Amino acid sequence: MTRAAAPPMLLQLQNADSVSSQILALRSLKNELIGHDQRKEAYIAEGIIPALGQVLSSRWPGTLDSEDLSLDDRAARKAEECDACLQATLIVGSLAQGGPTFLTPLFASNILPILLSILSSPDCPESFCIPILRLLNTIADRLPLQSQDQWPRNTQLADLVFTSANIGFLRRTLSQEYRTVRNQAAIELTAALIGKLCSEEAHKTALAESGVLDALALKIASFVVAKGFVLPGAEEHLHEPGALESLPLPAPPSAQLAPVLRAVAVIIEQSKWRAEHFLSSPGIVTVFPKQVPGFSPSDIRKAPWGSTYLSGSAVPRHLGTNPMEQLLPSVPLAHSKSASSPANFPPLGHGGSQRRSSHSLASPFSLAGTHTPEDDENMIVPWLLCTLRSENGVVRLMAARLVTVLFRLGLAKKHRVPMFSYLLIPMLVRMLDKDFRLTEEDSANYDGLISPTQRLKEEAPAVLANLVIDDQELQRHAVEGNALKRLSQLLKETYNPVSESSRPMWHAEDAPARNIETLSPSCRLGPSGYSPTLCHVMRYRENILKALAALVPFKDEYRKAICEHGVVPYIIDALKPRPVDSLAHASMPRNTAEDGNPIPTILAACGAARMLTRSVSVLRTSLIDAGVAEPLFTLLRHSDTEVQTAATAAICNLALDFSPMKEAIISANIIPILCEHAHSTNTKLQIESLWALKHMVYDTANDIRMNIVQTLGPEWIKDVISRDPVRAVNKFGTIDELDGSGIAMGRSNSAGEQVDILNPMDDTEWDEDMKMTDTMPPSKMSLDMFLPDARRRRKLVLHGTLAQTTQSRQDDIAVQEQTFDLLRNMICGRDAPEMIDYLFRELNEDDLLDTIAETLRPRTIQLPHRREATTPLHVPNEIISAASALIIHVAAGHPRHRRAIAFHRDLLRSLGNYFTHSHKDIRANCVWVVINLIYEEDQQDRDGCRDRAVHLRSLGFAERLAGLEDDSELDTRERTKTALHLLNKLSPA
């Protein structure tokens, strides 16, 4: 039996001389192709995709050559042309259903841009929207099958969908009411498409700025109305700025909430500014108006200049309590425990918890005066908690995901932790059970590639990981809920053989051979891609690894428990990448350790390995036995920068002085690779590489240290440490191009508050700058409403850009800090004086000390919007601490090294400015410098100690030390006593 040649129907379509004949050919082709992948393959090679593209481009818009036709004839002709385009669209959708092998020719053609232009055109019939949206969702579902190995994800379709013209269509579709079944389907398909495709930061920002996020917020508000959760008295706030003029229409009972929640969570993830933009959307503000304490009219007084104030005896009638809290169960309060727990060594990172206090949202009017961030939690948080309690399945999981995102961004109250412990964690852990299944009602509206239950189980560990990542109380509840044991068992099961029966497309042996090279790209099939079940297993494995890593960063007992569950070998197997030629055999769903893993799974495995290496006992036993070093060393040479960064981060702990792997790193010739990565243009890779090298050089043989200096390059080291640490770094273009106002130097601080990038900005100055007179359009249903008003749009754009600028500046500071730490560790341990001499020679003693002095030098700047003549610029604490630590260790060397420090023209003068610094470690470092400079190690240096003590007193260090005798920190007070004793002994006042 031979494969049938392409029937003449394609020729009939290509040679059709009228619209009606085209429609007949298209209908026949549609019936011929549905469910027959072999025929689809034949038609692809014969050129069906260019033919369909020709139909769509020529028949849309329906241009009529003859102007003699009557109106009825024109309408009939228009209907025929629309029908032809619709039939062509359905055939394209049928081809996409065939799997990833058919996506390559589709992307090589112009069909998708044509369909998107049709969808975005103002006169696009409603009958077209649903088929095109279904087609786009079909392709989005199958893209991971084609590009499972890629990182970041394949963005071909997202780049087409999220253009400015097409985003307008998304906004219009989401802003319509649930009036008809067709409208409901369009809304849900659009929200689902956003949830599947939106992964890039640029796309998320575009969706927020264009009003799509506001439209999604209105959809959530309609569900709030439908469920009866609108706050009492919300109608009284309808005429306030930022609110709608009436409550949204309720969503019908058949409407799906899960796609909307997923789309919102995807857009606002990892961006507090987008999350605050969502919470200030008109729909959310309307159903959840801000509650402020009420006062009696007699308590409200009016000042002569017109402003209002409260009398001294004013007492609020109510305390602004949230009535929705009454619907939530009472949970035990968390017991106060020490924030820190014993561990072998502290986590490698820039501090502890990433959760931040909520930033106040602007309210139209409040007599309550100042209030704590605890009062700023939006009512949507308890509503989401009520929703996940009352709903089931995917809606419950998406509500948990969104409330977790808000919690991670600091937009939920801190006292929610006990409620999350007793509500969210048991629910998420329950979803990990083998017997957990969705009901038939919850299983609706899924792509069908894998079961809805599999999809939910795949996502639940990721939500759990995001929830507990930085909170020890939540981690404790999850572990006590048996999460570690369940996750460990699930990780093992992801290595079970895949039972899916998948066979490659059948081809007859005597089928006519084709020269693939002669075919155009739109006529060539792509790779067969991966099995849906195999992709599910890989994503499941990835999220399980993320959850395991998130549960064990602080507790050594949790890390040991993972080892006891026997999953360390499986984590090591997850570090192995897929072979280069794996895609050629991807249609056979093999799933063994030798088959390797895609990049996202490898990144998660690196994170899990890094958490386990924090334990000395685990590192010395289970990880060595499982052979963790070899796969990590291999990943350092991986082609993907993200993988290199993750592997280097895991190796940081292997390079510690007490690690048994330190010698293995040296013998495996890994140091040159780390030095090469330190020169990378990727800042994250630079930081991790320098961090690993910093550990490598500590108490290592001097020849290894010197080799690292030479490999890095003395000039490169000098260039990094000599960078100005207070400059406003902006790799994304100047802020002044965005806005010409006086806040171009602004950024956010660690609490999420707006400050000047160089100096704190007065809150009133920021408020005045952000005040606008824009009001909402009079009609609630106006589409312009979903274009954020000028104030909100400007704030979103500015904050988003400043967040990028701030991150860039923090990364540059981290590179400089790690380089200073690298130099400090080079002169620690054995033969330290010899290394100090070596650094003085290679980096030039004068240049090195001048650089440190310049780094610590106080700076001022003249800002045009400030009244003061000059404004001080503060050197980052990280740089002060790292530079002063380097001085401490140089001052611990030979007397000639101490003299070089003490009598440098600027170094001690610059350091003297930090004796009153607010950071305790910096104050302690300053005292240690004094002690090391004048501590008498042997009698031969007595005269030198006396000379240095006299010089320190002449510089005013005695007075500075006297100011620290009553320091708040015991360590600083004790060190100060020692320093003053030595100074007074050697150089009496």
The reported pLDDT for the residue numbered 4 is: 44
The reported pLDDT for the residue numbered 587 is: 55
* 235 CB neighbour count, 10 Å cutoff: 13
Residue 642 has pLDDT above 80, yes or no: yes
Spatial contact of 205 and 218, defined as CB atoms under 8 Å apart: no
Beta bridge partners of 300: 310
- What is the rounded (10 degree) CA torsion for 477, 482, 484, 490? -140
Spatial contact of 916 and 923, defined as CB atoms under 8 Å apart: yes
Long-range contacts made by residues 870-874, C-beta under 8 angstroms, separation at least 24?
871/758, 871/759, 872/759, 873/726, 873/758, 873/759, 874/726, 874/758, 874/759
- Give me Rg for the CA atoms of the chain: 33
- Encoded tokens for 514: 């084709």
List, for residues 885-933, the tens digit of each pLDDT value. 999 999 999 999 999 999 999 999 999 999 999 999 999 999 999 999 9
- Residue 757 CA to residue 863 CA, distance in Å, equals 12
Using alpha carbons, select from 938, 894, 935, 884 the residue that is nearest to residue 914: 884
**Confidence label for 20 from pLDDT (cuts 50, 70 and 90):** confident
Residue 153 has pLDDT above 80, yes or no: no
Residue 755's φ and ψ, nearest 5 degrees, are -135, 165
Beta bridge partners of 873: 859
**Confidence label for 385 from pLDDT (cuts 50, 70 and 90):** very high
Average pLDDT over residues 217-234: 90
**Residue type for 968, please?**
S
Beta bridge partners of 403: none
- Residue 275 CA to residue 267 CA, distance in Å, equals 8
**Confidence label for 18 from pLDDT (cuts 50, 70 and 90):** confident
Q: What percent of the chain has pLDDT over 70?
A: 78
Residue 771 has pLDDT above 60, yes or no: no
> pTM for this one?
0.84
> What average pLDDT is seen over the chain?
81
Between 714 and 10, the higher pLDDT residue: 714
Q: What percent of the chain has pLDDT over 90?
A: 52
List, for residues 516-531, the tens digit of each pLDDT value. 666 788 888 888 888 8
Residue 354 has pLDDT above 60, yes or no: no
**937: DSSP letter:** S
List, for residues 396-441, the tens digit of each pLDDT value. 999 999 999 999 999 998 889 999 999 999 999 999 998 888 876 6
Using alpha carbons, select from 115, 89, 92 the residue that is nearest to residue 103: 92
Q: With both helix axes pointing from N to C terminus, report the angle between 483-493 and 556-564 in degrees, rounded to the nearest 10.
A: 40
- Residue 872 CA to residue 759 CA, distance in Å, equals 7
**Confidence label for 300 from pLDDT (cuts 50, 70 and 90):** low
| Positive or negative: CA dihedral 428, 430, 435, 439 | negative
- The CA-CA-CA angle for residues 111, 113, 114, to 5°, reads 60
In the chain, what is the straight-line distance between the N-terminal and C-terminal CA atoms, in Å?
108
Residue 338 has pLDDT above 70, yes or no: no
**Residue type for 425, please?**
I
Residue 473 has pLDDT above 70, yes or no: yes
Cα–Cα distances (Å) from 569 to 187, 432, 558, in that order, read 46, 21, 17
DSSP labels for 275-298? HHHHHTSHHHHHHSPPP--B--GG
Phi-psi region of 233 (alpha: psi -120 to 50; beta: other; left: phi over 0): left
Range 1-149 classified under CATH 3.40.50.2000: no
* 672 CB neighbour count, 10 Å cutoff: 11
The reported pLDDT for the residue numbered 356 is: 33
**517: DSSP letter:** G
Length of the chain: 989
The reported pLDDT for the residue numbered 775 is: 33
Spatial contact of 683 and 648, defined as CB atoms under 8 Å apart: no
- Residue 188 CA to residue 192 CA, distance in Å, equals 6
Spatial contact of 395 and 261, defined as CB atoms under 8 Å apart: yes
Between 404 and 452, the higher pLDDT residue: 404
Cα–Cα distances (Å) from 130 to 115, 125, 186, 188, 624, in that order, read 12, 10, 6, 10, 56
